[in-house]
A and B are shown apart, each in its own frame.
Chain A
Amino acid sequence: MDTELDPSARPPLLVLRGIVKQFPGCLANDHVDLQIGEGEIHALLGENGAGKSTLVKIIYGVMKPDAGSFTWRGETRTVASPAQARALGIGMVFQHFSLFEALTVSENIALGLNDPKDRENLPARIVDISTRYGLPLDPTRAVHDLSVGERQRIEIVRCLLQNPKLLIMDEPTSVLTPQEVHKLFATLRRLASEGCSILYISHKLEEIRALCEAATIMRLGKVVAHCIPAEKTARELAELMISAKLKEQSFSHKTISTAAPRLVLDRLTVRSNQQFGTDLKDISFAVAPGEILGIAGIAGNGQSELMDALSGEIPAGTPRNIMLDGAPIGHEGPRARRRRGCCFLPEERNGHGAVGPMTLAENGFLSAHVRGALDRLGLINRKRTQEFAAQVIKTFDVRTTGPRAEARSLSGGNLQKFLVGREVLQQPGVLMISQPTWGVDAGAAAAIYEALAQLAAAGTAIVLISQDLDEILLLCDRIAVIAAGKLSPPIPVREATIETIGLLMGGDHTAEEKHAVPA
């Protein structure tokens, strides 16, 4: 693995050395080095949570690094705000656009320009730039009837009007059709040939190999490699990015059970209720008692929608889309599903799995009152509620002052242990859990893995949705990959390779076809 900076023939535009950014409980950037040459298209590659966004926010002046140097065209600088970054010549196109739907293209662009001088002849200049770079835009159209690709062009033109030297693009193709991607690449190559450097953030390996001259690969806050993407295969890039090193714990992967499945999803199709959500298309799988099915995938590919559909927060299209022990439950809400023996834990702790300003006892009541019979005649049974919370705290070694502590007073890992414990102690027949160890330290993670493995050994069917591939490979019996709202057919973990999983994560359908007929 090549960790030296790539000796590039191009004069460096931006050099970052030893960037450190510490968040509470998480070192987001750990001595990160990055060098971008003039006119270079440079890829920043990594999984979610690898520290890409933090690094980009530091470059764009949104965040201040704790340590490290920032050298721009040979001069050391500090960038304290996005306005300063723009003044240097750094432009950024965010993944989620900030546009006013009711206003026209040129009105939206004018709103982003601080200097009144820049607003002169704006429509003419928009047309000029957009034709020059192959970004057709009509400045008089209202944003609300433009496609996503056209909206992205507005953001790009807004940056280009300021003659940037460095253009940062955050996951630009995640919202585009293949044809739009093709056009975007032509534009970016043209820009680079005119001397504008581009920092291209993505996890789509083939795109990066096709477009970028150099790449910096990050994992868990550290740079793991600098390389030339065209010289690597997609497999090599995937390995660098996800580096599936097994943890010391190990659990035996069971062979596929022949028992009747407890939970069956049959062509579940759900429209997302979020603005930038992912629709689920034809999701099918079955989980047997005692089995742990892992669902891998990069964030935002439909995991939260799948969790909402499993828990009943979003009803399925027809009741038979979700079957529990042979009974259709797709139409039922979370309480009815709990009564049938399902338990759920969504990815987001704050405000979804738990209510921060409420006590642990109340948070225990939140999901456990149905199965734990913590209420009586419409009143909260305070004694039993306290006892249940105390039992979770004791069994799962939650470090807290007791059931009366507010959930938000606990560290992320401790709260997660409490929440996992709350679901596990209800002894569910089926447990659906998402990101059980997100932001959790190694000790707490090991405790959570142990609890899940024991639960499975006792006969619970578990669906584990996670972006942490290590976790899935460690714990699960079978693995399926969700990409763009579609789920690949599950395969036994023992037969899965990093290469196929990586390609499935990037949405490569040829790999999916290979899976359909396992050798």
Chain B
Amino acid sequence: MLFRLEPRGLRSDFWSYGSPVLAVVLTIVTMGVIFAIMGAPPITGIETFLISPLTSPGGIGSLLVRAAPLIMIGVGLAFCYRANVWNIGGDGQFTMGAIFGGGIALLLPNAPFWWCYPLVLVCGVLGGMFWAGIVALLKLKFNANEILTSLMLVYIAQLILVWLVTGPWRDPQGFGFPQSAMFGAGATTPDFGTTSIHLGCVLAPLLAVALWLVMSRSVLGFQLRVVGQAPRAARYAGFSNARLTWIALLVSGGLSGLAGIIEVTGPIGQLTTTITPGYGFTAVIVAFLGRLHPVGVIFAALLLALSYLGGDAAQISLNMPNSITNIFQGVLLFYLLGVDVLILYRIRRVKPRIVEPAV
């Protein structure tokens, strides 16, 4: 018995939304197999990885704290990808946002919150925009592929951060650890009571909704969608590709920068060498799992945030390596890309037949 992929002709609406669900299901099954191979009972493994983080005390709070940066970077990337601009350097823009905003915060250790905190956030946004702006400039001026330049800029940003916190910005009272001084109270993201939930957790979904409105209701969002779906039609309509490339990259860079500065002024509280566990890369999966739709991104970000918590839980109670999180994310992306074939193709069973000889 043979199977053949047959073009549908039209995109399948069902599979446009069904494929992420199927990908998640297949990922969970595969994770069970991986747990079994690694010597843990599959059901227990999956329970530990996906359920226990939510039922533990403070679990929901931790989930939202992890999801906030993923939502902010993810909606920016979705915005960008809609315009066919493939920014995968969210991690670098996140880091630059942390550096720009964090630098201001270190400069003003005793400034009052009411003007210092907004200033720090704005600088974080500008940092991310600056880093993504380099990508736009290289793309438009030299036709350099943004996938490569944005990725390479991630490593440059990380090295700049390492240099700063081991050199000029190292905390003199930090016993030589590679980290900056703690930010002052005027540059700390407020959190809610005794939970770990902070301002960013509220801001992120609001930003997602705002971006959804821009995408669906504004002329700008229309232009981005046209340029992404039919670049020639965009030229025909008279939409400037250069302008839209700038906007797409600056918006996604700014959002990544905002995520970065909120992360260092909130949960972390200072600049260190490792401020991101690869949020910028995970956000790529988030954007695609959420079908490049800002609201879909919120749900996708919650699932991927869970994979970070699940990794910690599996490490603690099952003695699994922490890289189980990366495996989960990798397997999920693999299935998502694979299952997306069903949007354009259907699987047909074909009867084997005797192939005629050519001559």
Contact = CB atoms under 8 A, between A and B. Distances in A.
B349 interface: no
A124 interface: no
A88 B359 contact: yes
A356 interface: yes
A78 B226 CA distance: 44
Given A334-B236, A351-B232, A379-B217, A84 B222 contact: no
A356 B230 contact: yes
A358 B226 contact: yes
A280 B269 CA distance: 63
A367 B236 contact: yes
Interface in B27-42: none
Contacts, number: 71
Chain B facing A: main interface SS: helix
Nearest to A365: B222
A408 B220 CA distance: 23
Contacts of B232: 348, 351-352
B229 A355 contact: yes
Contacts of B233: 351-355, 366
Contacts of A311: 236
10 contacts: A313-B236, A348-B232, A351-B232, A354-B233, A355-B226, A358-B225, A369-B219, A379-B217, A380-B222, A408-B10
Given A80-B356, A358-B225, A379-B217, A334 B230 contact: no
Q: Which of B222, B232, B233 has the most CB of A within 10 A?
A: B233
Nearest to B213: A379
A299 interface: no
Contacts of A348: 232
A353 B226 CA distance: 11
Given A355-B229, A357-B11, A346 B236 contact: yes
Contact of A379 (B10, B218, B229): B218
A334 B10 contact: no
Given A352-B230, A357-B229, A358-B229, A83 B358 contact: yes
Contacts of B356: 78, 80
Of all A-B residue pairs in the complex, the 5 with the closest CB atoms, nearest first, are A334-B238, A335-B238, A87-B358, A351-B230, A84-B358
B235 interface: yes
Nearest to A385: B222
Chain A facing B: main interface SS: mixed
Interface string A264-289: 00000000000000000000000000
Contact of A366 (B220, B237, B240): B237
A368 to B, nearest CB: 10
A189 interface: no
B219 A312 contact: no
Interface residues of B, number: 21
A378 B358 contact: no
Contacts of B359: 87-88
A311 B233 CA distance: 12
A138 interface: no
Nearest to A80: B356
Interface in A339-390: 344, 346, 348, 350-358, 362, 365-367, 369-370, 375, 378-380, 382
A296 B10 CA distance: 34
A68 interface: no
Interface of A: 78, 80, 83-84, 87-88, 311-313, 333-336, 338, 344, 346, 348, 350-358, 362, 365-367, 369-370, 375, 378-380, 382, 408
Contact of B237 (A83, A367, A380, A382): A367
Interface in B235-250: 235-238, 240
Contacts of A351: 229-230, 232-233
Nearest to A363: B233
A334 B232 CA distance: 12
Nearest to A382: B217
B176 to A, nearest CB: 53
A379 B217 CA distance: 6
B226 A366 contact: yes
Nearest to B10: A408
Given A313-B236, A355-B229, A356-B229, 17 more contacts: A80-B356, A311-B236, A334-B235, A336-B238, A344-B236, A351-B232, A352-B233, A352-B236, A356-B230, A357-B11, A358-B226, A365-B222, A367-B236, A367-B237, A378-B218, A379-B217, A380-B219
B159 to A, nearest CB: 34
A148 to B, nearest CB: 25
A333 B225 CA distance: 20
Contacts of A354: 233
A121 B219 CA distance: 62
Contacts of B219: 369, 375, 378-380
Contacts of A313: 235-236
Contacts of A335: 237-238
B246 to A, nearest CB: 17
B238 A380 contact: no
Contacts of A380: 217-219, 222
A182 to B, nearest CB: 36
Interface string B18-34: 00000000000000000
A387 to B, nearest CB: 17
Contact of A333 (B217, B220, B226, B238): B238
A357 B11 CA distance: 9
A315 to B, nearest CB: 12
Contacts of B218: 378-380
B225 to A, nearest CB: 7
A362 B222 contact: yes
B236 A338 contact: no
A364 B261 CA distance: 42
A352 B225 CA distance: 14
A355 B230 contact: yes
A351 B356 CA distance: 40
Contacts of B238: 312, 333-336, 338, 370
A351 to B, nearest CB: 4
